[in-house]
Structure 1
């Protein structure tokens, strides 16, 4: 069974880093106020930092979380909301997954680098389906660019050659591999800003499920009806919603995603694409 470690980054408006940190500490969540240029990945507490992409707000960053601590996200988002935080089109919610999650287990058939390379291909082959779970503004966003098939295959080959980084040398992709170099994680930057802890946790579990499926050798492009590698102008609505449902059903049928989480995600996609 895969052991996942997570990092969560909530970009918010309306509160300064100091205000966010003070509110969290008062609310029972230990939080440091640190400079943006200080990267302390081993802190056991949350931290609030200034963020260059948010003009009047903060980025609230989790410590390394395992499954037993994921629910802290719900308490953190409630406290931030009560303190006056908000989200808009300028904010994002990013999830980091520790690279150790790609290590082979008794259930898996791929090495960690092969699993990561295949995850790149699976992620972008199904990006239109995954994108049905996020706001439309995130699909053509400079801070979370999307690789086409040729670019994704180039990235996968780069990884198979032993490079734990991005061939494109930028972190501003939907799936950011430059974080491997800095933090030992892969980062999914696609999701819009949120102060909904249930949504944040479900998204993290969905990412973990896609990694688990990939490690077992799943090829998302082979899912019947998914229509893999659709261009960004494929359009939203029924087509992407159907593909999203097929992907979620694939993950739940294989036991990678809990049915309750899958149902919640499908409801979320229906509301966004109805």
Structure 2
């Protein structure tokens, strides 16, 4: 891993700031920041803001000084970059506004979830993914994405609330262990929601979280189909966004040797392509099936090179 820092030219809070980034690993970026005494509050999803008086200290500790364009290029290539709009939507305050619309009497739960989604080891499975999945769920349910002026969206009903909660919880525990993550996320949903919802609703949220283990809801499971499709919507992203998703996934498993990762990833892609329709709701099939299959096919071919 190499850490890069650009010049102190970004004005804020009465001083100038640099950006500090890694070309491969957020874990190692956080470790470097700890060594030079940077507060975690200075971290902004894909970089640290470094006050001008700390610039020389970062270079003395091993950061490579580069220009702003070169730093942006390195960050983009790493797969760790979060675009500006996505960064704004994924900030803790913005997410808590969304949570308060959904569960206004359970602020403490929202705070814990937002903290979990911002854990430093996450790259793809972080707050940007949460926002994207919530917005895609809204599209599938016929609601506008985002938060409409702090008020509940049109058609906001009990069933929609439960599918939204399932998205909030589906990767709330993420240690990179398949199935175990989903099971622990479902258990967390049960624990945190029991004081606020009827037992039947708590059970349904936990069940929907488990649907994301293998994305195989039953044919008559309409809520499960919505949650599964929203979680997999990234597969149909525009080619440049899909390429960034691929880099993010690789960065999340940076400790896995390349040959092992490529073999495992190829197996996952072949499984997705060979298991029938990727999406289970009609709107998702119409919107995303063709694009998702094209993205997966291109990625699989690249792994064979």
Fold similarity call, TM over 0.5: no
Bigger proportion of residues as strand: 1
Length-normalised TM-score, structure 1: 0.34
When Rg is computed on C-alpha atoms for both structures, the one with the higher figure is: 2
